[in-house]
Amino acid sequence: MLRRLQELRREEETLLRVKAALHDQLRRLRTLGQMDNEAAINQTELHLSLQDYKEEEEEEEEESDS
C-alpha cells in the first residue's frame, strides 16, 4: 500500500511538472502569436503608407502636367 502511494505521489509530481511546462509553452506561443499579429499590422500600415505616398506623387505629377 505504501509503495502504491509513493508511486502515485511520483506520478502527481511528474504531471505537475508537465502541466507547468505546457502552461509555459502556451504562454510563449501566445506571445509569438501576438508578435506575428503586430508584424502583420505593421506590414499593412507600411503598405498603406506607401500607397498614400504613391497617390500623392501621382497627384503632384498630374498638377505639374496641367
Q: Is 56 exposed, middle or buried (0-12, 13-18, 19+ CB in 10 A)?
A: exposed
Query: What is the reported pLDDT for 16?
Result: 94
pLDDT for residue 42: 81
Question: Is residue 66 predicted with pLDDT exceeding 70?
Answer: no
User: Is the pLDDT at 30 greater than 80, yes or no?
Assistant: yes
Strands (E), 1-66: none
Distance CA 11, CA 49 (A): 56
Report the pLDDT averaged over residues 30-45.
Answer: 81
Cell of 62: 498630374
More reliable by pLDDT, 62 or 17: 17
